[in-house]
Structure 1
Amino acid sequence: MKYVIAVHAGAGYLKPANEVKYKKLCKKACNKGLEVIANNGSALEAVTLATSVLEDSPITNAGYGSNLTWNGTVECDASIMDGKSMHFGGIGAVSGVKNPIKLAKLICEKQNMQLSFGRIPPCLLVGQGAYDFAKANNIAIVDPHELITDKSKKQFVYNKYKVMKDNIDIPMNKSRLDTVGCVCIDNLGRTAASSSSGGIILKHSGRVGQSALLGSGCWAQINENVSIAVTTSGCGEHLMKTNLAKEISHQLMNNECPTFAINKSFNEHFFQSPLLSSYKEKLAGALVLYQNNDYYEILSAHSTKTMCFAYATESNHKSIVSRLTPSTSGNRLLVHGYPV
């Protein structure tokens, strides 16, 4: 069976001058994930390592280099889902964890634990409780200030000044919405998906975004001959309200054409959703891995200005920056499919 991995560095706004380094990073993350599978690792392990590579880079909004909260701190969200077991692990508003995705994976893997007194293992932990869980289970802990880069600090000072002194709102379509994520299917047909983010710029402390939540940040599922993995990016509140990752998977399971399914998901359950009726611009991106028998396809879709992603198999590598062309129309969607 073929194995495939794909990562994204976010759906948001990417300056053309930065395209090369983002594409290079995505390719590096894919290659690290491929190495895991080539050494008999699972899709879950490959997704975790590939996402960790993205978290360790100062140019993404995840882990090191994340957006800062209104109070000037880093609070990360992350989640991962195993398509075979349907187990899920998520963490929200966590400070001081070097690689949030590794903590999410640990929570996911502990879903089968037997606890005393009929207790059930958590699938989502937040804040101090998540930090304590990471520390107790030997997940790498760092001083929270070590996750702050000079770039994120400068952006924090500039944007907070604009909001407080000039009363100027930050245009959402120009802000860093660059949540990262990964989708994978390994050589045994197991799927996994991940999402990791520092959240929107100047967010309230304690705010949890879609990257922490089941069905909003990621989804992975296997059903008879069809395997699917989905990861999302964009405005977390829009994605949480519409549960977009799960909705895309549902449409893919019930339509023979994956491109049609993704268009249907966005148009009927995102752009036209009554839950988003008060929003003028509805910003989202999705990276999808679809497998039906011997047919494999990577699909990207976004209503943001740009989305950077890469995919790789044992014989094929490609990194792409997808860009919407300028238009005065309302919410627009760009969908690409790449058979692999």
Structure 2
Amino acid sequence: MKVAVIHTGAGNNSRKNEGQYKRLFKRVLSQPNESIEDILRVSEHLEKSELTNTGYGSSLDINGEVFCDAGIIRVDQGQRDELSVHSIRHVFPIRETWKLMENLDLLYCEGLKFDKLGLSRPISLDYKLNDKILELLNKAKQEVNPDDLILPRARYIYDYYMNRPEEVIEEIQDTIGIIDINDTRKLVLTSSGGNFFKLPGRIGCAGTPRCAIDFKSNGKYTFSCMCSGNGEQIIRYGLSSLVIERMMQLEGDIDWSEALQGIMESCKTEQGNIYVGVIIVIEDMNDCQNNRLVYCHTTETFQFGIKRMVDNQAEIEVIMSRLQKGSLVRGEYKL
């Protein structure tokens, strides 16, 4: 299977911006996605957009500053590695997380003292420790001007609502995500600027392992999952991991979309109202005709795009899903 999926967050996006989002999705998905560098460029296109809440244009915390979270899962030739990073102050959080993964490869896989001491490779890090890692590797660190991360509109929102705490910010944007799968490797990536006025030091779902993203295989199917929405609820459930675990328990002729709806409804029963969106790519390892993307959301909107191969030609589809009636929306696409 060869497929790419991107989303810009489950939340409450205004209809007036739908045209801009559609153009963003089509522009990003039209980019090459063959190499790792290609995928990192795709992430940069999303993170530098003024339409997304990560990197440049992120929500400001209670002190008026930008700190992002990000996570990466890579599965290459059957070997899985993952890293979640929080408190990132950089315009491209996913690329910075990838650099950290590469630096950890050097520290733990090439005979340095960490491996000799029997220390396990970390799967979660504070970005501020990146400076120490660069020192250990004799690499130069990159200085970033914090003001370069702040979108003027984000500064305006911060100044306006800080003086009007009784008012509500109507438009909600959240975590972005990328799934990219080909015949040899699978990547699941996410990053987020968090919510406006978050507490300094707050770690969101993108910076928490196996919450905003996860990947698992049971020998028959592989499952690549991305979640967005209320970060605390996603963390409380370990939502991406929970969705996959429950999917893996299913047997027989499975309606994947109905199954995902059932999982979401069971979460609502346990927790009350939940405010999340979930995308899961399911690869049938024995029959490529059964490969599917399923999604479900309880948020007002969930916007995502798919690039898949049809008769050896790339086909791009953009989905602007909107909650109409009821408490959730679900859907399914053949890949």
TM range (shorter): 0.7 to 0.9
For structure 2, the residue ranges without an aligned partner over 5 or more in a row are none
- List aligned pairs for 1:24-39, cutoff 5 A: 24-32=23-31, 35-37=32-34
User: Structure 2 CA distance, aligned partners of 1:57 and 1:119?
Assistant: 39
Alignment of structure 1 residues 75-90 onto 2, 5 Å: 75-83=67-75, 84-90=78-84
Radius of gyration: which is bigger? 2
- Partner residue in 1 for 2:315: 316
Equivalent pair of 1:182/1:194 in contact (CA under 8 Å): yes
Q: What corresponds to 2:217 in structure 1?
A: 222
User: What is the deviation of 1:206?
Assistant: 0.8
TM-score normalised by length of structure 1: 0.85
Q: SS of the residue aligned with 1:191?
A: strand
1:252 Cα deviation (Å)?
A: 2.5
Query: Cα deviations across residues 281-332 of structure 1 (Å, max 9, x unaligned)?
Result: 42101122111131222222111000111000233110111000155xxxx2
Residue 55 of structure 2 corresponds to: 63
CA deviations 1:222-270 (Å, max 9, x no partner) are: 33231221111101001000111111111222223321331232122x2
Q: Which moved more, 1:308-317 or 1:202-211?
A: 308-317
Task: Tell me how far apart the structure 2 counterparts of residues 311 and 137 of structure 1 sit (CA, whole Å).
Answer: 38
Q: Deviations over 1:184-236 (max 9, x none)?
A: 21133x32211110001110111110011111110122332312211111010
What does 1:103-252 correspond to in 2, within 5 Å? 103-109=96-102, 110=104, 113=109, 114-116=111-113, 117-130=117-130, 133=133, 141-163=143-165, 168=166, 170=168, 174-188=170-184, 190-252=185-247
1:11-50: CA deviation from partner (whole Å, max 9, x where unpaired): 0011111001112212222233xx132xxx25xx554332
- The match for 1:271 is 268
* 1:286 partner letter: V
Q: 1:74 Cα deviation (Å)?
A: 0.3
SS at match of 2:283: strand
Q: Please say if residues 13 and 171 of structure 2, whose CA atoms lie closer than 8 Å, have aligned partners that are also in contact.
A: no
Structure 1 residue matching 2:97: 3-state secondary structure = helix
2: distance between equivalents of 1:262 and 1:138? 46
* Partners of 2:256 and 2:293 in 1: CA distance: 10
With over 3 angstroms needed to count, the CA separation of the structure-2 counterparts of 1:141 and 1:284, relative to structure 1, is: farther
| 1:272 match: secondary structure | helix
Q: Distance in 1 between matches of 2:215 and 2:193?
A: 22
Q: Secondary structure at the match of 1:214?
A: coil
Letter in 2 for 1:170: V
Question: How many percent of aligned residue pairs carry the same amino acid?
Answer: 23
Contact 1:77–1:100 (CA under 8 A) maintained in structure 2: yes
Alpha-carbon distance in 1 for matches of 2:16, 2:196 = 21
Q: For the residues of structure 2 that align with 1:104 and 1:234, how far apart are their CA atoms?
A: 21
CA distance in 2, matches of 1:162, 1:228: 44
Q: How many residues align?
A: 314
Q: Counterparts of 1:18 and 1:223 in 2: how far apart (Å)?
A: 40
Q: Following the alignment from structure 1 to structure 2, what is the Cα–Cα distance between the partners of residues 123 and 81? A: 10
2: CA distance between counterparts of 1:144 and 1:134? 20
Separation in structure 2 between the aligned mates of residue 140 and residue 36 of structure 1, nearest angstrom: 26
Cα distance change of structure 1 residues 228 and 49 upon mapping to structure 2, 3 Å threshold: farther
Matches within 5 A, 1:253-332: 253-255=248-250, 256-268=254-266, 270-273=267-270, 276-277=271-272, 281-292=273-284, 293-294=287-288, 295-314=290-309, 315-326=314-325, 332=327
Is 2:62–2:200's contact at 8 Å kept on the other side of the alignment?
A: yes
1:67 is paired with a residue whose SS is coil
CA spacing shift, 1:115–1:6, aligned 2, 3 Å:
same
Letter in 2 for 1:296: N
Describe the shift of the 1:18–1:215 C-alpha distance in structure 2 as closer, same or farther (beyond 3 A): same
In structure 2, C-alpha distance between the alignment counterparts of 1:317 and 1:93, rounded to whole Å: 34
Secondary structure of residue in 2 paired with 1:264: helix
Change (3 A) 1:141 1:289: farther
Aligned-residue Cα RMSD (Å) equals 2.2
Q: How far is 1:179 from its partner?
A: 1.2
Q: Distance in 1 between matches of 2:305 and 2:155?
A: 28
